[in-house]
Amino acid sequence: MKIAMVGSGYVGLVSGACFADFGHDVVCIDKDQSKIDRLHDGIMPIYEPGLAELVGSNVAAGRLTFTTSLAEGIKGADAIFIAVGTPSRRGDGHADLSFVYAVAEEIGANLANDAVVVTKSTVPVGTGDEVERILKDSGTTHKFSVVSNPEFLREGAAIGDFKRPDRIVIGAEDEFGREVMSAVYRPLFLNESPILFTGRRTSELIKYAANAFLATKITFINEIADLCEKVGANVQDVSRGIGMDNRIGSKFLHAGPGYGGSCFPKDTLALLKTAEDYDSPTRIVEAVVKVNESRKRAMGRKVLDALGGADKARGKKVALLGLTFKPNTDDMRDSPAIAVAQTLTDAGAEVAAYDPEGMELARPLMPDVAMVDDPYAAIEGADVVAIVTEWDVFRALDLKRVKDLAKAPVLVDLRNIYRPDDMRAAGFEYTSIGRG
C-alpha cells in the first residue's frame, strides 16, 4: 500500500519509518524545507534510539521518501495520515487544531483518488467530524473516509511500541475506513496485536482518557511519596506492594519530580477543556494537573533545603544532572528540570547542568543556567548535586570523584536511583523522594 504521512515530527516520522519497515511505500510530508533537507541527508530532527538506523535502511530500500509537496505526496495514497502538532492553545488550554484543519483543507483541494484520511494527531472529541466536513466542503469527487487512529508511543521506546503495541485503536464510521485500516495494519496481525475497532469519537476519547489515567497514577504515587516522608515509610516498597496487585499494576508508580513531555501536560488540559465544554467536569484530572504543576517547584525547594534554605542559596552552586523530562529523548517540553532550575536561580543560586541529549533545546529555556559538556564539570565546586532525570550515565557515577570535585558531598536524588544506605555509607548527605 501507499501511505502518506503529513507531518514529520516525532509521531509522523516514527510511524512513517515503521510502516515502511512493514513493507508499505511511505511518503513523509512536511512544510519545513530545512527538516526535509536534513532527512534527505540522514539527519534526524529528534533524538529517538534506533530511529536514524530505521529511517536510513528504509530510504535505502526505496520504501521511505520525503517531500514538502502535499499534492505530490498524497497522490495515489491509500491512506493519508495527519500527524501534525496539536499544542495547547495560548490563553485557554484548548488543543490548537489549526494545523490539523489546514492540512484537511489542503488534502481536500488536492485529493486525486479514493483514500482514507486518518487523524494520527492527538485531537479532542469531534475533530474527525470537522475534518470530514472540511473534506466534503472541498468539493472533491473522490470517495473518502475519515478515521481516528491515536498513537500510544513512549518517547525513548517508540519503535518497539509501534511494532509490538499493547493495542491498535481504530475509530471508523464506515466499512471503507475499516477495510483500508485493516490492510495498513495487517503486518501486525501476524503478531496477534490486539486491534479495537470503535466509533470515531470513542477512539478520540480513548487517547485522552489513557493519558489522563497514567498522569493520575504518577501524581498519586508522588503524593504518597510525600506522605512516606512524613511518616517514615519507603515509597518504593509501597509502590511494589500496591503494584503487585494485578488490578493496579506496577507501571507509572515511580515517585519523582512530576510528569512532563509532549503528551501528558497538554492532553490533560485538553481533556479538562472538553469536559467543561460538555458540562461534564473531571475533578480528578483537574486535581492531577494542579498537583503536578505545584510539585515541580516543590522539587526545586527540596534542593534549596539541601543548601540550607532559600535564604542561604545566593552565590552557592548547584549541579543539575539531567534536563529532559525523561531519559532517552531530547524532549524538554514541560520538563520538571525547567521549574527546578528556575526555583534555584530565583533564589540566587548558580546552576550548572549536563544532559546527554537535551542541552541544545534546554539553552533557550534556561538562559541563566550554565550548560557544560560533562557531568563532572557540572559537579566541580558544587554545594549540592541534584539528579533530575534518570539517564543511565548517572546510575554509576564515580562517587569518590564526585566527593573530590564537589565543594560538599550533598546529593539530592529526585529519581531514587541510588540506595540511601549506600550513599550514606559513602559519606554523602543524601536526600531522595519518599524514603527515609
As annotated, the active-site residues are 263
Give dist(CA 12, CA 353) in Å, integer.
Answer: 31
| 3-state class (DSSP) for residue 435 | coil
> Which grid cell sits at 221?
504515587
**Residue 136 CB contacts under 8 Å (≥ 6 apart), including other chains:** none
Closest listed residue to residue 8, CA positions, set 25, 32, 42: 32
CA 117 remoteness from chain centre: 24
- DSSP output for 228-249: HHHHT--HHHHHHHHHTSTTT-
Residues 6+ apart with CB under 8 A from 40: 66
Q: How far is CA 144 from CA 108, 127, 132, 140, 202, in A?
A: 10, 16, 9, 9, 20
A 10 A CB-CB count for 94 gives 19
Cα 276 from chain centroid? 25
